[in-house]
Structure 1
Amino acid sequence: MATRVSSLYAESLTVLSQFRADLYGCLTTRADALFELTDAVLCTDRPVRSLVELALAPEHRRGHGSLYAGLNQGRIDLDRLRRTLAGLPLPKAADGRLVLAVDVSPWLRPDAATVPDRSFCHTYGRGEAKHQMMPGWPYSIVAALETGRTSWTALLDAVRLQPGADLAALTTAQIREVVERLIEAGQWAEGDPQILVVLDSGYDAPRIAHLLAGLPVQILGRLRSDRVMRRPTPPRVYDPKGGRPPKHGGKFVFGDAVTWGTEQAITVTDTRLYGKATAQAWDRLHPRLTRRAAWLDHDGPLPLIEGSVIRLVVERLPSGGANKPVWLWWSGTGATTADVDRCWQSFLRRFDLEHTFRMLKQTLGWTRPRLRTSAAADRWTWLVIVAHTQLRLARPLATDLRRPWEKPAPPSKLTPARVRRGFRNLRTTTGSPARAPKPTRPGPGRPPGSKNRRPATCHDVGRVLITGQAYTRPAHHKVGTKPRRNG
């Protein structure tokens, strides 16, 4: 047993050391400053509050000027870094399936009028207002999910949404590139289960499934409770009156149980957190598409995108809120009880990505810096991602340095924040490829008493909307209006 543990320790240490060496090779300009900045993020004893405080960490041997110069003028080979992340060991489900989650997390910059490339980001629960659109940098992030209750995810990609971008088209291109890199790295091969991609309600899951046709992926997305689906086209029957045959079957109204009919599959599972979870599935349902918005320029007849609709109802919620059913759309058809269980359990695992966002923002300081350019924000975002990746690789190596009020936990149950406490000790074992800093003198700076004759330019805030029109509050968010049903 001791030999097996030491072998696992040596293997994990080798993977971590190799990743650090590969990371240094991906930093093409000002590599030493960017690499030591990442080490400072990992080894600081407390959460990151500002960039200048990282310059005081012992792992950062350079001055604060080098820190900002690295973010503003450094370069990262993102293609090589993305391939490196795809080649690392990734978590998989019990059947060997890769489960990916995609979501958008904003870096809010409401008061930065001189910052370019800002877009209106949707926020929820800020103050008394429930829904707000605030200026910032929205980032679309893809991560691989683990099984079971955990706060760990394997970050694979991050793309900043440009103002006026089509969210569905950009997400489709991002997923396609990630899947292709995973296949190239040997994470998926012929005969393996298809990769499951989990989306939240902000995405058009049927459209993304249509755009990703041909890839070994299945799409699972959440739908609003006011949606209306259509059944398969009924068989053509001779009508003496003539007329065009129908293209769609009967309606499946989420809010009207009379239209549901008999379900394809049903499962009942006893869970510790939610009590009894009941999942029902109906086969071969599709949305009725119209030539507007994203389908306005579609060539040829509009497609019929069939899938399975899953209705999940739990006995209780941990927060004690209103217990409403969750509607899911799965791009597969002919769902069995095993498929239904896998779908709704994978969707619940999507919330692990929210724990990762909280770790990135509150502990690693992702949204703390007040950077002037979006290019510097992209470099800092990738440094935070690789820092989180090093914590994941150091998970089998970490020692539990728990606080007196915390319960002991085995190495497999340590959270990212508790792994970070002991990373400073692991850093001395893995080594650092960064070179020692050279002695230098600070620049003269602006002469005392002189005025700034190059004021910064103010930039307008853009929109991440398909139509490019001005933002309007959705009808189902307004007070005193009835829910709108969409076909």
Structure 2
Amino acid sequence: MHHARDAAAFRELSALRQEFYRCLTRRADALFELTDAVLCADGPTRSIAELSLIGEHRRGHGSGYAALARGQVDFDRLRTALAAVSLPRAADGRLVLAVDVTCWLRPEAHTCPQRILCHTYGRGKDQHIMVPGWPYSVVVALESGRHSWTAPLDAVRLAPGDDAASVTARQIRDVVNRLITAGHWSPGDPEILLVADAGYDGPRLAHVLADLPIIVLVRMRSDRVLRRPAPPLRPGPSPGRPARHGAEFAFGDPNTWGEPDSTLETTTRLYGPARIRAWDRLHPKLTSRTAWASHTGDLPILDGTVILLQVERLPSGAIPKPVWLWHSRTSLTHAEVDLAWQAFLRRFDIEHTFRMLKQTLGWTTPKLRSPDAADRWTWLLLTAYTQLRLARDHTIDLRHPWERPRPTRRLSPARIRRGFRNLRPQLDCPARVPKPSRPGTGRPPGLPNHQPAIRHDVHTVTSTNKQKPKRGNKAKSTNPRPRRTG
């Protein structure tokens, strides 16, 4: 039984490599071998040229940059190929998706177009600095278990002027439709759960994606104020318009909470004792501004369930803060509340995926000038990461002497990568042998470049990043920050 399952996974990995090669419509051999060089390297990727020193890369040191600059990749077909492979599921059998934005910072790349000011965390002492770069919205499928594996499904670069909320909604819709087409979801299956952090407008996503079999679970800031359902109308005539919103539910004021509809207490391995409380049928009070400015008619009432998670400790030793979650479904059972907060904690696996892409596979290492070349390099690494995930049951653990042995299902992506070179000869390698050629003459010595590259400005004002006008020399207000009601 296990041998049949392993053989099927092995065939799936070879089929993905064949389909990946067919998605490379121009300079396919160089792009394919560049991906294999990333998978078979002994250490972190430090430059594209150094990948030519690896035995699996049979071309010159300039072929990698040339393939990224002038190659072509069928992104739609590659998205379909990644959505067709086997995907992880939660304990109840449902698909759990996570979406987040990560940035490829290019602060000194003045000749790179379409750079946007990206919000960075932890640069300096308690400073959040805006750095120019290319932001990417990435969607992955989360997996349960004591590891940090994810299944990348899509990556979209945010262009200047893009609305992050609209791009995310369109991206999630395309991903869900591809999953349905691939047979990962059919009528009668549990709804797909989408998990996001506080930077996303959960009620807005739930409203836009209401026609899809998807549940939205997002974290909310601790200063939010939601509303309860409107009280029933009193009998008899009443002056004025009927109320659409009930009493306030302020996250920062426990006096407004009332008794929770559901309470759970459990003990976790990393966080110690945890207490989970849930309040049913709470909604934000929407206003005809920002994302709802173009909405016609009355603004909708988007009821959901608010979940408060409180733990005793954090693995880093920091003081834990309460976590507020908004679930797009109402009347949740105890089992659904228990699944919701655990699914949100699994969202942090996407951060480990970003770290793997950047620090080990070298996503932000090459100094590419064109954003199109950056898109090609991004998709090469997403495909490489998917190959590592499919190969984790077939590679041998080549651990260092100071590393502890681990079960095969708990090996990290970096340790799976060490043994991929031994697995590669057994897989399909459709790349052709390079033809012998002579390098070009290049620029004659002493002849300067008379066509300097065009310098591009950084796009500082977009629909999601608008700078407020300066207030001159007026002193900063000392009034407390108003509560957010939207």
- The two structures have a TM-score, normalised by structure 2, of 0.96
Q: Indicate whether 1:194 and 2:191 are aligned.
A: yes
Q: Distance in 2 between matches of 1:75 and 1:428?
A: 26
Cα deviation, residue 44, structure 1: 0.5
Corresponding residue for residue 299 of structure 1: 296
Residues in 2 aligned to 1:479 and 1:311: alpha-carbon distance in whole angstroms: 32
Instruction: Show the 5 A alignment for 1:363-442.
Output: 363-442=360-439
Task: Report the Cα distance in structure 2 between the residues aligned to 1:444 and 1:273, rounded to whole angstroms.
Answer: 61
Q: Would the alpha carbon gap of residues 37 and 479 (structure 1) be closer, same or farther in structure 2, given more than 3 Å must change?
A: farther
CA displacement at 1:431 relative to structure 2: 3.1
Alignment match, 1:484: 482
Distance 1:237 1:51 in 2: 72
Equivalent residue number for residue 457 of structure 1 = 454
Give, in whole Å, the separation in 1 of the partners of 2:364 and 2:224. Answer: 35
* Structure 1 segment 236-385 matched on structure 2, within 5 A: 236-238=233-235, 242-385=239-382
**Rounded Cα–Cα distance in structure 1 between residues aligned with 2:35 and 2:235:** 71
Q: What is the aligned residue count?
A: 480
Cα drift, residue 47 of structure 1: 0.5
- CA RMSD, aligned part only? 1.6
Same amino acid, percent of matched pairs:
61
Q: For 1:335 and 1:482, locate their aligned partners in 2 and report how far apart those are by CA, in whole Å.
A: 35
How far apart, in 2, do the equivalents of 1:479 and 1:366 lie? Answer: 43
- Contact residue 263 and residue 277 of structure 2 kept, 8 A: yes
Q: Which amino acid aligns with 2:459?
A: G
Is the contact between residue 283 and residue 333 of structure 1 (CA under 8 Å) also seen in structure 2? yes
State the one-letter code of the partner of 2:306. Answer: V
Tell me the distance in 2 between the aligned counterparts of 1:5 and 1:99.
Answer: 26
> How many Å apart are 1:118 and its aligned residue?
0.6
Stretches of structure 1 lacking an aligned partner (at least 5 in a row) = none
Q: Which amino acid aligns with 1:327?
A: W
For 1:309, the aligned partner's letter is V
Q: Aligned pair 1:114/2:108, yes or no? A: no
User: For 1:289 and 1:416, how far apart are their aligned partners in 2?
Assistant: 43
Letter in 1 for 2:343: S
Distance 1:20 1:480, change over 3 A: farther
The CA deviation at 1:240 is 5.4
The match for 1:232 is: 229
Distance 1:94 1:146 in 2: 9
User: How far does residue 456 in structure 1 lie from its aligned partner after superposition?
Assistant: 1.1
Instruction: Give runs of ≥4 in structure 1 deviating > 4 Å.
Output: 238-241, 478-481
- Cα 1:387–1:472 change in 2 (3 A) is farther
The answer to whether the Cα contact below 8 Å between 2:308 and 2:323 also exists between their aligned partners in 1 is yes
Quote how far apart the aligned CAs of 1:149 are: 2.8
Q: Is residue 146–residue 410 contact of structure 2 (8 Å, CA) maintained in 1?
A: no
Per-residue deviation at 1:483? Answer: 3.6
Q: Spell out, residue by residue over 1:237-274, the C-alpha distance to the aligned partner (whole angstroms, 9 max, x if none).
A: 25756111111111000011111112111111111111
SS at match of 2:171: helix
* Residue number in structure 2 paired with 1:9: 6
* Structure 2 counterpart SS, 1:141: strand
Q: Could you tell me the TM-score, scaled by structure 1's length?
A: 0.96
The residue correspondences of 1:23-34 to structure 2 (distance < 5 A) are 23-34=20-31
Structure 1 residues 479, 355: closer, same or farther in 2, change over 3 A?
A: farther
Task: Please report how far the alpha carbon of residue 482 of structure 1 lies from its aligned counterpart in structure 2 after TM superposition.
Answer: 2.9
Offset of 1:461 from its aligned partner? 1.4
